[in-house]
Amino acid sequence: MKYEALAKNIIKNVGGKENVNSLTHCVTRLRFKLKDESKANTEVLKKMDGVVTVIKSGGQYQVVIGNHVPDVYADVVAIGGFSASSEDSGQEKMSPFNKFIDIISGVFTPTLGVLCATGMIKGFNALFVALGLLSATSGTYSILNGIGDCLFYFFPIFLGYTASQKFKGNHFIGMAIGASLVYPKIAALTAAKPLYTVFGGTVLASNVNLTFLGIPVILMDYSSTVIPIILAAFVGAKIEKAFKKVIPDVVKTFLVPFCTLLVIVPLTFIVIGPVATWAGKLLGAATLAIYNLSPIIAGVFIGAFWQVFVIFGLHWGLVPIAINNMAVLKHDPVLATTFAASFAQTGVVLAILLKTKNSKLRSIAIPAVISGIFGVTEPAIYGVTLPKKKPFILSCIAAAIGGGILGFAGSNLYIMGGMGVFGIPSFIGPNGMDKGFYGAVIAMAVGFVIGFTLMMLTGFEDDIEETTTNNVKIEVKAETLVSPIKGEVRPLAVIKDEAFSSGALGKGIAIEPSEGKVVAPVDGVLTTLFPTGHALGITSDNGAEILIHIGMDTVELGGKHFTTKAKQGDRVKAGQVLVEFDIKAIKEAGYTLTTPVIVTNSDNYADVVETDKKSIALNEELLTVLA
């Protein structure tokens, strides 16, 4: 945890976690409700590195942190064991697709560093063997391969933890579910003689390897799978929550996990596994039918959707077809059409690497490109392209074109194994380098080039870096900020909030609104917009970070009397309406509306010069920041 030491000191000096009734946060500060404020060491907190000041207001003990308060809040919650109920918890409604992307991103983001590292190790290990530097039977190769394979093989355990975290379940229950899916003795039963077969004679024919309380269990290989454990963690969190309501507190510690695991693990094996297995078989049958109809159409279809199949674990439906083709035909044309997909993905990520100005994204993209060359694309998919959606779609388009070329050339796999560039020899048949081989090489190159080109020609949402969070100073330039509010101009000193009036959060000015409207003071990105509508932050195209806080303590209205006209992450133009608010109603509720407009990264500038006007209209010059 980045702010672990600071979080521990804050908890200690507010009187310990036992002195905290509740904790929320707003745009700049932690808002504690303490049982006894006299137990808090206010002067110690004020002098603490990382704390701007402390304010006692409205029954809250407010520890002012600054722009990176969400990160500090997360560490305070984790260390103190508080419930995560911040004031920004009101999430905007998302479409089902965006909801899916949000879940996938939340589940995979914590694993990205290790995912990239193990993918690179696996790729380099294969390279060492190909160059004759290592033998595939050596101890060195085995250990390096173990390091490279460990995360992928036991992925359900890692995702059990992160998925439970995302769904607000017990992390260790999630890990236990994942571990049960890859438990060696259960996994080994997939190769044992089946008890009997269900749906025999149909495409859904499945072997029953064991029963649970007389219920047939259809097993599959869950190593490296994704969707089954995510679904299991989601359902498990719901089951856990239900048991928490009925089990007495005195025995919750062990009885809640006990009951939850007894329900969710069998349910996963009995329901989730078979559904994934049957979906894969149906996909395999449909794909083979398409290939028999037209290899080119099949190549386009499989190439376009291969990465989607992998995400949902449906690709296992094609593997048996490929293995059967290898055994009967001594080659396989079906999986051959997927060869360009990893290169298309890698080309897109390379373009993002060259275009992005975000150092965090670049640090993920570099190892993703390296591992992608060797055929390991999980870091690229889950860390870069899927969260941004458009790049993932572009990679699918490029993979579809590559797949069509493979189908047209009649490319076949003659051996199973070898990913990425090491898959090229798999296309050399008994007759040597034929049309199919050259088609595979051309498809690989075309997929990469088209993915790269499409991404270079297409824009994407490049994340804005926060200077205070990442310790990275983005280039700043002199610029003029127009007034976001119409009203009377006041110095910051008049604000009855020390964090603003002292200039601790940045230089700026205050406005007493005469019209209930906030417009963008610059062209830039709306990096922060609280669901309550009371505060927003904008990062200008020239690097200025502007905070507009409508009134004091107006967060307590919970969004009442505020109407947002934009959403967080939007690009905005100077003068664009962002928020509307009811001045009369807010004042009648007992709140002051004096609004600070501050440049939170003013330390990056030589000076911030305020207007000398006593009253100001919308879009008139308000502040000038000097580089």
3-state secondary structure (DSSP) of residue 413: strand
| Region 98-123 average pLDDT | 70
CA distance 450 to 435: 22
Number of domains in the chain: 3
Q: What is the DSSP string of 447-490?
A: HHHHHHHHHHHS---PPPPPHHHHT-------EEEE-SS-EEEE
Q: Which residues pair with 525 in a beta bridge?
A: 539, 571
Q: Which of 87-96, 288-297, 509-518, 594-603 is the least confident region?
A: 87-96
Distance CA 522, CA 503 (A): 21
Residues 163 and 273 in one domain: yes
Nearest to 338 by CA among 282, 393, 413, 433: 413
Whether residues 504 and 608 share a domain: the answer is yes
Give pLDDT, residue 87: 43
* pLDDT digit string, tens, across residues 182-199: 998 888 887 778 888 888
Rounded alpha-carbon distances, angstroms, from residue 528 to 122, 536, 548: 40, 5, 10
For residue 50, what is the domain's CATH number? 3.30.1360.60
Provide CB contacts within 8 A for 82, sequence distance 6+. 17, 20, 22, 23, 76
508-517 CB burial, b ≥16 within 10 A, e <16: bbbbbbeebb
CA dihedral (132, 136, 138, 143) positive or negative: positive
CA distances from 280 to 178, 315, 318, 563 (A): 20, 6, 7, 47
Chain-centre distance for alpha carbon 285: 33
The continuous run of DSSP H or E covering 122 comes out as helix 112-130
What six digits make up the tokens of 507? Answer: 């230089």
pLDDT of 91 higher than 50: no
> For the ranges 43-47, 269-273, 606-610, which has the lowest average pLDDT?
606-610
User: Which range in 207-216, 269-278, 314-323, 598-607 is most confidently predicted, on average pLDDT?
Assistant: 207-216
Distance between CA 506 and CA 487 in Å, rounded? Answer: 21
Alpha helix stretches (DSSP H) within 543-611: 583-588
Q: Which of 26, 47, 80 is the last residue of a domain?
A: 80
CB contact at 8 A, 509 and 551: no
Whether residue 191 is found in the same domain as residue 285:
yes
Partner residues linked to 217 by β-bridges: 210
Query: Which of 187, 194, 153 lies closest to 273 in space, CA to CA?
Result: 187
Mean pLDDT within 456-472: 56
Q: Per residue in 274-283, is it b (16+ CB within 10 Å) or e — as a string?
A: bebbbbbbeb
Report the alpha-carbon distance of residue 122 to residue 116 in Å, rounded. Answer: 10
Full residue range of the structural domain in which residue 160 is found: 154-293
Whether 577 contacts 559, CB under 8 Å: no
Mean pLDDT on 348-359: 87
Could you tell me if 540 and 523 are in contact, meaning their C-beta atoms sit under 8 angstroms apart? yes
More confidently predicted of 161 and 220: 161
Task: Say how many Å lie between the first and final Cα of the chain, rounded.
Answer: 34
DSSP 429: B
451 falls within a domain = no
Based on the fold, state whether residues 205 and 75 are members of the same structural domain: no
CA–CA gap between residue 86 and residue 315 (Å, rounded): 40
- Cα distance between residue 384 and residue 466, in whole Å: 19
**CA pair distance 582, 517, nearest whole angstrom:** 9
> Is residue 604 assigned to a domain?
yes
Residue 575 lies in a domain: yes
> Any residues with CB less than 8 A from the CB of 176 and at least 6 apart, and which?
160, 257, 261, 265
Question: Is residue 332 helix, strand or coil?
Answer: strand
Alpha-carbon gap, residue 264 to 61, rounded angstroms: 42
Cβ-in-10-Å burial (0-12, 13-18, 19+) of 606 comes to: exposed
Question: Given the structure tokens 């992925």, which residue do they identify?
Answer: 155
Closest CA to 288 of 301, 300, 298, 278: 298
Distance, C-alpha 338 to centroid of its chain = 26
**3-state SS class at 594:** coil
Alpha helical stretches, state H, 154-251 = 155-166, 171-181, 184-188, 227-246
Residues 22 and 164 in one domain: no
Q: Is residue 462 part of a domain?
A: no
Boundary-marking domain end, from 80, 99, 134: 80
Residues 171 and 276 grouped into a single domain: yes
Q: Over 499-536, what HEC string results?
A: HHHCCCCCEEEEEEECCCEEECCCCEEEEEECCCCCEE
The CATH number assigned to the domain holding 490 equals 2.70.70.10
Pair (611, 488) in one structural domain? yes
Angle of helix 341-355 versus helix 359-373 axis, rounded to 10: 150
Which of 69-73, 328-332, 556-560, 580-584 has the least mean pLDDT? 328-332
pLDDT, one tens digit per residue, over 3-30 is 889 999 999 999 998 999 888 877 677 8
Q: How far is CA 143 from CA 182, 284, 434, 448, 582, in A?
A: 20, 35, 37, 32, 66
Q: Are residues 282 and 161 in the same domain?
A: yes
> Is the per-residue pLDDT at 404 higher than 60?
yes
Name the pTM for this structure.
0.49
Paired with 608 in beta bridges are 625
Interval 130-155 mean pLDDT: 87
Question: How confident is the prediction for the chain on average, in pLDDT?
Answer: 84
Picking from 521, 536, 546, the residue whose alpha carbon sits closest to that of residue 600 is 546
CB 155 within 8 Å of CB 169: no
**Residue 87 within any structural domain of the chain:** no
Q: What's the DSSP call for residue 271?
A: I
Q: Which residue has the tokens 């932050």?
A: 537
**Mean pLDDT score, 315-324:** 64
Position 337 in a domain: no
Asked whether residue 63 falls in the same domain as residue 199, the answer is no
Residues classed as catalytic: 26
Average pLDDT over residues 551-577: 91
State whether 165 and 284 are in the same domain: yes
Q: Give residues with Cβ within 8 angstroms of 157, minimum separation 6.
A: 175, 178, 179, 182
Under the banding of pLDDT at 50, 70 and 90, the label for residue 335 is confident
Q: What is the mean pLDDT of residues 421-445?
A: 87
Residue 235 has pLDDT above 50, yes or no: yes
- Domain assignment present for residue 100? The answer is no
In this prediction, residues 609-618 reach a mean pLDDT of 88
The whole-angstrom separation of Cα 272 and Cα 284 is 18
Paired residues of 61 in beta bridges: 32, 56
Decide which of 258, 293, 328 is a domain's last residue. Answer: 293
Whole-angstrom Cα Rg for the chain: 29
**Pairing verdict, β 621-626 and 571-572:** unpaired
Q: Does residue 31 lie in a domain region?
A: yes
Distance CA 413, CA 428 (A): 8
Q: Do 63 and 163 belong to one domain? A: no
Q: How many residues does the chain have?
A: 627
Model confidence at 324, pLDDT cuts 50, 70, 90, reads low
